[in-house]
Amino acid sequence: MRAITNFQTDLLRAFVCVVDLGAYTRAGEALGRTQPAISLQIRRLEELVGAPLIRQVSRNLQLTGEGEVLLTYAREILRLNDEAASHFNRATITGVIRVGLPNDYAVAFLQGVITDYTRQHPELMLELHCGWSAEILDRLRADELDLAVAMVNNEDTRHLSRSWVERPIWAAADDARLDTNRGIPLAAHPEGCVYRARMIQALDAARLRWRVAYSGAGIAGLQNAVVSGLGVSALTRYTLLPGMRVLDEADGFPPLAEIRVGLFYKHPRLSPAGINLVNHMIAQLDEAGVSAPGIAAGRDRLERR
């Protein structure tokens, strides 16, 4: 019988810590080990894989192709391990969890998932922070947030655990009468919003005139602008409201480009309460059929300090 390779969780945890915290020394501090001990664990993991996982480029460290693949598996293995440990330890879920959600994404579904979870665990304190995706990810990297949902920039996928694709749809008021030849009134978030950019790109490519009739940061204001007939906007199926109708090519509106959304967190920085919330969110996303395995942070640049 062929021997099966066993990836010890302590080795995988050291690997994920190095990636998420950006340095061997920081990973050692988080795990209560020295930098040489962390280096030995990474070498042991490379022996099990049979290939290098991290290579040094100038003064920086970079994941190899095998490292990218292993990172995806490692995150999932550790998440399930910590979920099982929490279940059998029967520890009370307490603490503060800081969650970042973007202004430029339909957060109604995930807000419901998160708030339902906190109602089940009243001893848990939740802090929700909304902003643009780039700002949210900056705050996550600065340890000002514990986990975040944000638009995925394919050039920087640090701390990405899961991702899924959203196809924005054009939405207008039920009784809106639109003439694409006269220019399209848009209801949009301010500049910097991915959905705003998708609308403008699609209309420009179709050589359709447009103007911004409403601009505001909040999703509620955007929805009200659409329902009142002030303008059309790009939404998702989660934020369509009664009084809205979907527009498509038959109405003269070009299709909108897909948007990739991700769940981001630093595993070594999460408390048991945070890990439980991540597991809850992933389970709900899987049940809703909107979650897909995330792509590991293959382009991470990790500085050895």
In this prediction, residue 3 carries a pLDDT of: 67
Q: Which amino acid is at 63?
A: L
The string of pLDDT tens digits covering residues 226-280 is: 999 999 999 988 788 999 999 999 999 999 998 888 899 888 778 878 888 888 8
Pairing status of strand 301-303 against strand 233-235? unpaired
Architecture of domain 9-80: Orthogonal Bundle (1.10)
265 backbone dihedrals φ, ψ, rounded to 5°: -165, 160
Distance CA 195, CA 197 (A): 5
How many percent of the chain have pLDDT more than 90?
Answer: 35
d(CA 110, CA 278): 11
Low-confidence ranges of the chain (pLDDT < 50): 293-305
Give one DSSP letter per residue of 137-193, joined into a string: HHHHHTTS-SEEEEE-BTTB-TTEEEEEEE--EEEEETT----GGG-EEEEEPPTT-
For residue 2, the model assigns a pLDDT of: 59
Does domain 93-155+263-299 sit in CATH 3.40.190.10? Answer: yes
Superfamily of domain 169-251: Periplasmic binding protein-like II (3.40.190.10)
- For residue 22, the 8-state DSSP code is S
Cβ(192)–Cβ(136) below 8 Å: no
Query: Domain ranges in the chain?
Result: 9-80, 93-155+263-299, 169-251
* Residue 117 confidence (pLDDT): 84
Check for a shared fold between 9-80 and 93-155+263-299: no
Neighbouring residues of 68: CB distance < 8 A, sequence distance ≥ 6 = 295, 296, 297, 298
pLDDT at 172: 96
